[in-house]
Structure 1
């Protein structure tokens, strides 16, 4: 045929050549790629396949833009200017999880080696697949544009930051690597207006999103408080970037394309293969049937009618779907005159039922509590007198003279008709257990005992929600104010201090062994030691107490109870030992240390870190036989008693319960000559760990009841001060 018409033959050859040349140009990046090569492996990554390849794989295997390397049996990826460990490759959702090689497991002082921010990647509004094999976002249907990671920002600050929850203190881990200043981290994205406190950015690295809905990427992201150890652990988990661009290029030739989450398949956006309906569904486009148009019209009409019923309008946001006018009219009528009134009535009925159930539950709970208390009082023959609320009100002269207030309620000064003054504790309505257990504990415990060194319960009141306890009045108040108060008050002599410590020990010993039932107080502290007119100490406040048979040496506990700083370690750490009366011995030891020292055990103004926890310091002084400085004029006998109190206190606060003495032994040691008492082992440093591990204030009591945006502001980066 070419011979017959050489001109036509020439034209055919030219067209074929141009087509072949065009095909080769478009396929320049993929013409020599073999997509069927067997998978490679390196370390924990055992399925490295197209488009990924290892550096030593045959040249025809995998896409060179997705080349990985195997270094010391660890799969590595070079991303931008740094290298990262490959933690996993997800061929389902086209993501690869990476970890900065500078982050080491078990070493919180390890810090990121690479500087990486969202701004290092091409923005989601202007990119080409050919230039960027990796992205920090994905187009997904129906979620929309999905950001895959945010940031951890390392800040170097000149001064400590105390009032900003976004700044997480990292000094405890990485201060030794810094060149002065204070190191903080911010988990989440950071805007330029958030840089304050005389701080500058030292490093930025990527981290997976922190548990909130990251699909709404246009909203501001609020900071969530994490410790630096938690942030470091999350950095070990790595972050994800998308490698969807290569497969999209293979499929669509030109971007963009999207990932359909229902089938986890890639689709080309410019193929017009889906439309968004009025209700937000993604459906295949094409010529819709009349039934489909009618149904779409009804759905749109129902939404429009419902909004009209409440004075609002709805915008027809459907794309690519025609709607039947008849369907719209029918739907509007249904939405306005049927659906809206129905929902409104259901809502009102639901609110009525909700509040009715709430009131009913409240009444049942309180009725049960009152019945519990009444049943207890009926079944126990108690010495205390039962007063009416009217009598309580008269005693306190209308609650005019308030002595104090705490988590338990309020305490007022009162007067009996016979003359003596009393202290009346009005328990709060919602304090303690819902069944009135705190009230029962106190009445059951104090109501059956009488001892010189235990406060006496004169009477009580139970009337509806009103509950009160009537005690002997202690004119000198609690021991707490003689240890920590800055107000002017009568100072205790060292003789009085020694007598108070003996009195408290005798009171606790009586609780442990002097009654038919063993009484464990669980809240021995200065606040609960009251002083009468002669400064005789009495143990008070039995709201957390537990009663056990004398023969039971082990106590079953469901939760920690007491006050931080005085609580025994076995209440927190189950592997130390079982909970027993030795928990009260520990609390007494901490109390005795404060009585002898006449101040709190934690000394924040100490020059030496070993003095911050006072028992450490006093132990060192005793071991090195240095004389302990005592304020004021004291006799040699008083000096010996103070030293003896310190030694006994150190015995009481031993870490293991078995190493602590009984209260009878404590009294014996306090009464014998100091030469007959050995110095115990050094106390454990656990108290400060408890406060950190449990996140509880040192003044807190425990009982059974108990953002968006990128880092585009980084215009220049200074030398990394953390390295």
Structure 2
């Protein structure tokens, strides 16, 4: 009996050791063989597809767009958009503003393209022209000159190249004279007394320019003489070498918006051209890999049968191997924090403390929150995360972020669970729930006094200032909104939900992103469009400003905007009332002290939602503004307050970020 027992022990040990070695080996072989058996690199295959839209057919590098050509197959500025049923693609230029261009034709031999402004014949449409500066990647054909046009001018001295200017749009007030300059140095001679409503830089055909000098030709007809032929300037020498070697031209996606040239080949990316020895080497690897795969499969089946008979399915070693792979991130995290790491709970302990997830408190994008109770009697909030693919980065991000904090306005993390696909976070329980129900809920909308809302606003600002400046590692939240602000029994606010948070050194607050993150309406403009600036701690300031408007005005500013037929959004309505020195209180009768508080909160919120990050105050300045007098606060510049629509999110170039 003892001999049989020892023999079984030895067999089990051999089986476990063998499978612990065989399984990683088989995984390596599969990862090696499967990509090679597909015949070509995925990016090579993607960039082999050409772009087509309506009359424009089969164009490649540097153009990209749509479902057929990803961004790494071209250059950022050459993205083409194709609407359903459109005859021509459009090209959006973001440089000192926005301009939509229609691409009428592309000559791949001469590297030229014919472009025209979108909605060319609709009214004057000069406002959009004034925002464009010709990109370094686009060069005017020699048949054109760029002139500077000043129109709607008054009190100018005579002697300039002046022309009358008539606009067909009655809403565009372009009265007065118009002046054009072929030489940029002549602009300084206009004098300080000369005032003009607008100025533009626009390409003009040289033959039409002679006509403008020598005849009474209409200035408007000259300005609308589109399309214009332009040469696109890219590295065609490198691209030619790449294609001659059998590769496909593209750009690196390792560094976002780097524009570094890459040659995508069947055996993977190369710097300039494909390697001729790659095919033979790939065949050798493929043959050896397939042989090893067949042999390993036979051995794996044999071990599986042996283990099943001797040990049953419950303790099959695969489960142990998978668990080790999944828990590597958590193990590394616990090791880095040592005794200071949050307490780890098993899933059975989580189930026990929540009474099998009986009392549901709420639900968010990443999971459901339940009420629980620890063995010492304390109530807790347990967020049971949804089962997501991957290695648990969203859990590690939240645990890592909150574990670095210790502030009265930051929610306290008590522990976490990371057991296979079962993941949960344990927080302190805050009895008054989230802030959104006190803003949007009809039944209790009068339950919070203005002073209480003001104290909540100050507390949130202090918490954000702590995240930005008070930790050794700066924490950017990226999802500040009323739903993520919890209130304790005394209505003290605590910032929660760090699933989208990013960590960065305090002296380097600018970060990179690959997808926009956050909640539509609270996302700062630079997060979804790189034209507005870099993503930094000022992105949290914008979200705070939008939330502050919700708080002081007792409504969801985003939902309010969506219900309006006009383009006047709720923040803009408030701005106009302040500008006209009118009352902004809605549904409340306020005394002078309360009016002072409300005006201060609204002024601070308008500073925080400035379109460009550089114009927004940091959070420590926001705290000072809230705690000071509103008399010292000036009305901020009027920002572009229109909230982005979902269609804009689909069409605008995304700045780079990843979790």
Give the TM-score normalised by the residue count of structure 2.
0.50
Give the alignment partner of residue 451 of structure 1, picking from 407, 419, 436: 407
Q: CA deviation at 1:683?
A: 1.7
Give the alignment partner of residue 379 of structure 1, picking from 311, 319, 336: 336
Give the alignment partner of residue 118 of structure 2, picking from 93, 106, 118: 106
In structure 2, C-alpha distance between the alignment counterparts of 1:694 and 1:664, rounded to whole Å: 31
More helix by share: 2
Q: CA deviation at 1:691?
A: 2.9
1:601-620 matched pairs, under 5 angstroms: 601-602=557-558, 603-604=560-561, 609-611=566-568, 613-620=569-576
The answer as to 2:646 corresponding to 1:691 is yes
Any stretches of 5+ residues in structure 1 without a counterpart?
A: 1-86, 89-103, 111-175, 177-235, 237-348, 697-701, 707-723
- 1:569, 1:686 within 8 Å by CA — same for their partners in 2? no
In structure 2, C-alpha distance between the alignment counterparts of 1:417 and 1:596, rounded to whole Å: 40
- 1:615, 1:683 within 8 Å by CA — same for their partners in 2? no
Q: 1:576 to 1:418 in 2, by over 3 A?
A: same
- 1:438, 1:543 within 8 Å by CA — same for their partners in 2? yes
Match of 1:545 in 2: 501
Superimposed CA distance per residue, residues 562-597 of structure 1 (whole angstroms, 9 cap, x where no aligned partner) = 111111111122122111110101110111111111
Match of 2:384 in 1: 426
In structure 2, C-alpha distance between the alignment counterparts of 1:495 and 1:107, rounded to whole Å: 51
- 2:371, 2:382 within 8 Å by CA — same for their partners in 1? yes
- 2:439, 2:445 within 8 Å by CA — same for their partners in 1? no
The answer as to 2:381 corresponding to 1:369 is no
The answer as to 2:347 corresponding to 1:389 is yes
Structure with higher Rg: it is: 1
- 1:383, 1:448 within 8 Å by CA — same for their partners in 2? no
Q: 1:664 to 1:634 in 2, by over 3 A?
A: same
Could you say what secondary structure the match of 1:379 adopts? helix
1:289-300 matched pairs, under 5 angstroms: none
Match of 1:561 in 2: 517
In structure 2, C-alpha distance between the alignment counterparts of 1:368 and 1:619, rounded to whole Å: 54
- 1:404, 1:411 within 8 Å by CA — same for their partners in 2? yes
Superimposed CA distance per residue, residues 242-277 of structure 1 (whole angstroms, 9 cap, x where no aligned partner) = xxxxxxxxxxxxxxxxxxxxxxxxxxxxxxxxxxxx
In structure 2, C-alpha distance between the alignment counterparts of 1:625 and 1:528, rounded to whole Å: 33
Could you say what secondary structure the match of 1:562 adopts? coil
Match of 1:621 in 2: 577
In structure 2, C-alpha distance between the alignment counterparts of 1:425 and 1:605, rounded to whole Å: 31
In structure 1, C-alpha distance between the alignment counterparts of 2:656 and 2:383, rounded to whole Å: 19
Superimposed CA distance per residue, residues 387-418 of structure 1 (whole angstroms, 9 cap, x where no aligned partner) = 22222111101111111222211111001111
Q: CA deviation at 1:518?
A: 0.5
Q: CA deviation at 1:704?
A: 5.5
Any stretches of 5+ residues in structure 2 without a counterpart?
A: 1-103, 106-115, 123-170, 172-226, 228-293, 302-316
The answer as to 2:357 corresponding to 1:402 is no
Could you say what secondary structure the match of 1:538 adopts? strand
Q: CA deviation at 1:362?
A: 12
Q: 1:364 to 1:499 in 2, by over 3 A?
A: same
- 2:553, 2:585 within 8 Å by CA — same for their partners in 1? no
Give the alignment partner of residue 581 of structure 1, picking from 529, 537, 546: 537
Match of 1:115 in 2: none
1:214-613 matched pairs, under 5 angstroms: 368-381=325-338, 382-430=340-388, 434-488=390-444, 491-602=447-558, 603-604=560-561, 609-611=566-568, 613=569
Q: 1:604 to 1:516 in 2, by over 3 A?
A: closer
In structure 1, C-alpha distance between the alignment counterparts of 2:648 and 2:599, rounded to whole Å: 33
Q: 1:522 to 1:635 in 2, by over 3 A?
A: same
Q: CA deviation at 1:609?
A: 2.4
Q: 1:635 to 1:105 in 2, by over 3 A?
A: closer
Q: 1:703 to 1:365 in 2, by over 3 A?
A: farther
Superimposed CA distance per residue, residues 653-675 of structure 1 (whole angstroms, 9 cap, x where no aligned partner) = 11111111000000000111111
In structure 1, C-alpha distance between the alignment counterparts of 2:650 and 2:415, rounded to whole Å: 38
Q: 1:638 to 1:465 in 2, by over 3 A?
A: same
